[in-house]
Amino acid sequence: MSDPWQAPVSGETTPPKDGAFAPPGAVPPVQPDAYGPPPGYGPPPGPAGYYPGPGGPPPAWTPPPKPGLIPLRPLNFGTLLWAPFQVLRRNPRATFGSALLIQSVLTLVTVVVVGLVTAWSLGRIDSAPAADVDAVTAGAVLTIILSVLVPLALQLIGSALLQGVIVVEVARATLGQKLRLPALWRAAGKRLWVLVLWTVILVGVLIVSVGVLAGLVAVLVILGDAFVVLGVIVGIFGGLGLLALGLWLSTKTSLVPSLIVLERLGIRAAVVRSWRLTRGYFWRTLGIQLLVAAIVGLVSQIVTTPLSLVFSYAVGLVDPNAAFEAYLPSIILYVLTLFIALVFGAVAAVVQSATTALIYIDLRMRTEGLDLELQRFVESAQAGGSVAEPYLVAPAGRTTA
């Protein structure tokens, strides 16, 4: 019996085997006109660009949109490292101008207030009777200390305002928007006092922590004998432990200014949310912040250190005997050095604030899909539509207060 799987179809004959003669009346097998490639090889038939598969050609990969400062996707390390410096380049009048203006005002107030109060207090000591010198000296020292509180309070307000300004600038620059300095100040001013309160809390925690450690070491040293060695040990390891604790807490709460400004949260809610956003990204957040700070500090030292040496040498050269006639060149050199320090201080303040704002945006894109909300906002704005503020959209789809 022949193999049923090889049986010829009715009306057809099987081709003869090699070397066999075809029987009479057999239909010869049809041979192809030309031997081409087997099916599946070569370009598909049809015009260029034609794709015979179902649904048309597969969609080509396109990079994420970049309407402004950064591409709207989770950011890589290089982007997070250099984008803060691009903030200065993209809108220098609003960012660098704000930082330089704030720091210049603070420096001027410090020099005027503390300088005048100090000069007046020292003058009182010099003119006081011999019997009242101690009392006048104590009052003068207290007056000088109290005068320092004025620029310190202004420093807290200025630092909070600058943080808010840079956070708003980074958020708007990500969407391709560019605001002028008055608009940035108005937007940051709406959340200024919450930022100031947060800054006061940070400074207060730092002062209390350092004060407790210093007080403990002082008590141990006063006790004398073996307690002196214990005090030194407590001071060294306590200082290192305090440094580690400070880095940990500051990293976990580094997103609080961005949350206060962009999501309009209170301090407690902002701290809780910052803690959650940095969960699993602690070392990445800390590393980027430290590396950016190291770059800014290194560049600043490279420029300011030679200038300080030149300043010291020039003062000794033009005023070897501390003569009154040489005060003017010394003052000019001092003002020049102070101005350069202000410039680099302004750059450092902008870059550090921009770094934390960019980390906030990156973490939300990684954990909450903020990049999709930003893309939707940009597309709607380009089409003339209206979409809710993307930074206020929470992960569950509800909007924050």
Rg value, the chain, Cα: 36
Q: What is the pLDDT of residue 154?
A: 83
Instruction: Please report how many Cα atoms fall inside a 13 Å half-sphere around the Cα of residue 53, on the Cβ side.
Output: 8
pLDDT number for residue 59: 53
pLDDT of residue 361: 94
Q: What is the pLDDT of residue 350?
A: 92
Tell me what pLDDT residue 356 has: 94
Q: What is the pLDDT of residue 398?
A: 45
Q: What is the pLDDT of residue 111?
A: 82
pLDDT on residue 251: 93
Regions of the chain with pLDDT less than 70: 1-64, 312, 314-330, 393-401
Joined together, the tokens standing for residue 103 give 């720091």
The pLDDT of residue 397 = 45
Per-domain boundaries in the chain: 92-190, 194-278, 280-378
| Cβ burial, residue 250 (10 Å; 0-12/13-18/19+) | middle
Q: Rounded distance, CA 278 to CA 258, Å?
A: 13
pLDDT for the residue numbered 19: 46
115 and 109 Cβ atoms separated by less than 8 Å: no
